[in-house]
């Protein structure tokens, strides 16, 4: 990602957070435990296909260091209706329609921990709109292909963790992962 594009994406993330959308950012296990969340809804593009991806937000380096992650946040919604509304707004921006998919808190925590992603949790009272700058990260698919080659060449021992991380990279974006 180019410097200018990265700076504008980080600025967009900061704008989104500063707009007091109600979205809460942090470490998934802690955030879900504090809010007593049993399950939430994530947005998955191309569910069950080779190019499956999860919607994420890309934050600034400052936000990353504050939350102890790499600056990428999985966006999860407390309510199905809010996740579906957000998915329709993404589609209106020209993206394929993502599927609102229910994930138990344990699955979401494990995913975020294994990928070193933070969590952007959208509580039911929040009204979140997609950022103005969204993009699809094509290079993430190249990472997955290379990891699959490694798994085929060296066996599956330990490859599952790496494959999960690569799949998570499929949507690394300024604000969208698909």
Least confident piece of the model among 6-20, 96-110, 132-146 = 6-20
For residue 101, being part of any structural domain is answered with yes
For residue 178, being part of any structural domain is answered with no
How does pLDDT run across 43-102, given as a tens digit for each residue?
999 888 878 889 998 876 655 566 566 678 999 999 999 999 999 999 998 888 999 999
Structure tokens at 154: 């060296």
* Residue 82 vs residues 79, 93, 141: alpha-carbon distances, Å: 5, 17, 28
For residue 155, being part of any structural domain is answered with yes
For residue 176, being part of any structural domain is answered with no
Q: How many CB atoms lie within 10 A of CB 172?
A: 25
Q: How many CB atoms lie within 10 A of CB 40?
A: 27
pLDDT at 159: 53
For residue 177, being part of any structural domain is answered with no
Number of domains in the chain: 1
pLDDT at 18: 47
For residue 143, being part of any structural domain is answered with yes
Contact 96, 52 (CB under 8 A): no
Q: How far is CA 138 from the centre of its chain?
A: 15
Confidence class of residue 37 from pLDDT cuts 50, 70 and 90? very high
Handedness of CA 113, 114, 117, 119 (dihedral sign): negative
Which domain, by its residues, includes 93?
A: 3-169
- Distance from C-alpha of 167 to C-alpha of 170, rounded to nearest angstrom: 5
Beta bridge partners of 57: 73
Residue 153 has pLDDT above 90, yes or no: no
pLDDT at 85: 94
For residue 83, being part of any structural domain is answered with yes
For residue 174, being part of any structural domain is answered with no
Statement: the pTM of the whole predicted model exceeds 0.75: no
């Amino acid at each position: 990602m180019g410097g200018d594009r990265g700076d504008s994406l980080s600025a967009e993330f900061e704008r989104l957070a500063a707009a007091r959308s109600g979205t809460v950012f942090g470490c998934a296990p802690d955030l879900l435990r504090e809010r007593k969340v049993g399950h939430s809804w994530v947005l998955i593009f191309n569910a069950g296909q080779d190019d499956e991806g999860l919607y994420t937000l890309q934050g600034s380096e400052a936000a990353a260091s504050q939350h102890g992650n790499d600056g990428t946040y999985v966006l999860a919604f407390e309510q199905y209706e809010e996740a579906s509304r957000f998915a329709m707004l993404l589609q209106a921006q020209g993206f394929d329609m993502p599927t609102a998919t229910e994930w138990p808190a344990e699955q979401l925590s494990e995913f975020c921990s294994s990928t070193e992603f933070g969590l952007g949790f959208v509580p039911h009272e929040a009204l979140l709109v997609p950022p103005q700058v969204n993009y699809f990260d094509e290079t993430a698919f190249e990472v997955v292909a290379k990891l699959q080659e490694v798994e085929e060449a060296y066996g599956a021992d330990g490859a599952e963790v790496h494959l999960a991380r690569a799949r998570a990279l499929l949507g690394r974006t300024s604000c969208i992962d698909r």
